[in-house]
């Protein structure tokens, strides 16, 4: 099952289109989920809560509209779910047992709670399955649109790499493995501590990064021989560098958090930055 969060906003409609394409390609059921919060209006007399019955109906109508759009895109197995509550909590709950959860990065409609940026981050942090965040209109991964995966040697980045390789195999897209590191010599450039020892340490760390990404790429080649897999070491801030590497890609994949010795590239702050700045849909794999 593929779950998609839906509201009547451009980002959510793009997410629905992306999810519908995947559901059709994988012959999976698509569950369209719409959530409304309990908006409050406070006056001198206290808080007044809107009739929940109206909100429940509005959520149900939204979900049905999403289902209609999915069917128009050729998805045969479509179900709906609507609820009142916290958007992130409801989406995470709906994704229990799902293969994939797809959301937009932002969304807002009058008096309605939708998929705001903070919701995207919360969903990615707690979802029980991989989450794809669709930010822009973009072609799907194919022979001309590679899948880019950020790795750092941590267990979760290896899980992300496996997810990316499977997606590349299924779509015919090449896979580009990237490790990002920050040169300590650059950090010490204005310091009296910069000497030949510091430069040598930087060279050693870069060599370690190269070995890490090449070993991961080679392992993936053995497991997925039909996929064209390349590897690269990039210098810079992990979040912004990964986002730049996503230009021209069909999908950018990262782990939600990592503990690798290189730069901690899969730290939550990195995923946060990637979600905000990537040039293509982003898959966060836990």
Is 142 domain-assigned? no
**56-96 per-position pLDDT tens digit:** 899 999 999 999 999 999 999 999 999 998 899 999 999 99
Q: What is the pLDDT of residue 95?
A: 97
Is residue 139 included in any domain, yes or no? Answer: no
Asked whether the beta carbons of 191 and 157 are under 8 A apart, the reply is no
Rounded CA gap, 177 and 228, in Å? Answer: 11
140 in any annotated domain: no
pLDDT > 60? residue 108: no
End-to-end CA distance of the chain: 17
Evaluate the CA torsion angle 105, 109, 110, 111 in order and state its sign.
negative
Paired with 60 in beta bridges are: none
Confidence of residue 121 (pLDDT cuts 50, 70, 90): confident
73 and 158, same domain (yes or no):
no
**Tokens for 197?**
């020892």
181 and 115 part of one domain: no
pLDDT of residue 110: 36
Pairwise pLDDT comparison (255 vs 271), residue with the higher score = 255
Which among 187, 212, 210, 211 is positioned nearest to 198, based on CA atoms? 187
Per the CB < 8 A criterion, the answer to whether 282 and 266 are in contact is no
Lowest mean pLDDT, pick from 41-45, 204-208, 282-286 = 41-45
pLDDT attached to residue 243: 92
Burial code (b: 16+ CB inside 10 Å, e: under 16) for 211-236 equals: ebbeebbeebbeebeebebebebbeb
- Is pLDDT above 60 for 102? yes
Q: Which of 80, 113, 134 is at the close of a domain? A: 134
Which pair of tokens denotes residue 6? 């839906």
Handedness of CA 132, 238, 215, 233 (dihedral sign): positive
Residue numbers of the domain that contains 167: 147-285
> What is the distance between the alpha carbons of residues 9 and 184, in angstroms, rounded to a whole number?
44
Residue 70 lies in a domain: yes
Kindly report the length of the chain: 286
- Residue 18 within a domain: yes
pLDDT score of 137: 74
In this structure, what token pair is assigned to residue 32? 């369209």
Q: What is the pLDDT of residue 11?
A: 87
**Mean pLDDT of the chain, nearest integer:** 83
pLDDT band at 286 (very low <50, low <70, confident <90, very high): confident
Mean pLDDT of 272-279: 84
- Do residues 49 and 170 both lie within one domain? no
Q: How far apart are CA 30 and CA 48, in angstroms?
A: 36
Task: Give the alpha-carbon dihedral of 69, 114, 250, 242, to 10 degrees.
Answer: 180
Q: Do residue 130 and residue 176 come from a single domain?
A: no
Using CA of residue 189, residue 261, residue 101, residue 35, what is the dihedral sign? Answer: negative
Domain shared by 15 and 126, yes or no: yes
**130 & 151 share domain:** no
Last residue in a domain, options 110, 134, 158: 134
Tally the C-alpha atoms within 13 A of residue 109's C-alpha that lie toward its C-beta: 19
For 125-154, how does the pLDDT look when each residue is reduced to its tens digit (9 = 90+)? 889 999 999 977 767 899 999 999 999 888
Instruction: Report helix, strand or coil for 104.
Output: strand
């Amino acid at each position: 099952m593929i779950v998609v969060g839906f509201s009547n906003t451009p980002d959510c409609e793009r997410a629905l289109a992306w999810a519908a394409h995947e559901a059709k390609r994988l012959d999976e059921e698509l569950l369209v989920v719409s959530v409304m919060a309990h908006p409050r209006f406070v006056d001198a007399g206290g808080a007044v809560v809107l009739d929940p019955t109206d909100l429940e109906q509005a959520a149900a109508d939204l979900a049905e509209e999403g289902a209609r759009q999915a069917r128009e895109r050729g998805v045969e197995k479509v179900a709906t779910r609507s609820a009142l509550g916290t958007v992130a909590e409801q989406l995470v709950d709906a994704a229990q047992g799902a293969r994939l959860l797809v959301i937009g990065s932002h969304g807002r409609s009058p008096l309605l709670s939708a998929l705001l940026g903070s919701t995207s981050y919360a969903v990615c942090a707690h979802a029980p399955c991989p989450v794809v965040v669709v930010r822009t209109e973009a072609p799907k991964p194919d022979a001309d649109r590679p899948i880019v995966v950020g790795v750092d040697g941590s267990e979760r980045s290896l899980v992300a790499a496996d997810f990316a390789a499977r997606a590349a195999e299924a779509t015919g897209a090449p896979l580009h493995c990237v490790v990002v590191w920050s040169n300590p010599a650059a950090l010490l450039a204005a310091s009296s501590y910069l000497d030949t020892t510091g430069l040598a340490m930087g060279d050693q760390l870069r060599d370690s990064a190269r070995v890490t990404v090449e070993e991961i790429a080679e392992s993936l080649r053995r497991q997925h021989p039909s996929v064209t897999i390349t590897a690269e070491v990039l210098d810079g801030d992990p979040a912004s560098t990964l986002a730049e590497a996503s230009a021209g890609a069909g999908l950018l994949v990262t782990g939600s958090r990592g503990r690798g010795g290189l730069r901690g590239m899969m730290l939550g702050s990195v995923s946060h930055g990637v979600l905000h700045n990537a040039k293509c849909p982003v898959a966060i794999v836990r």
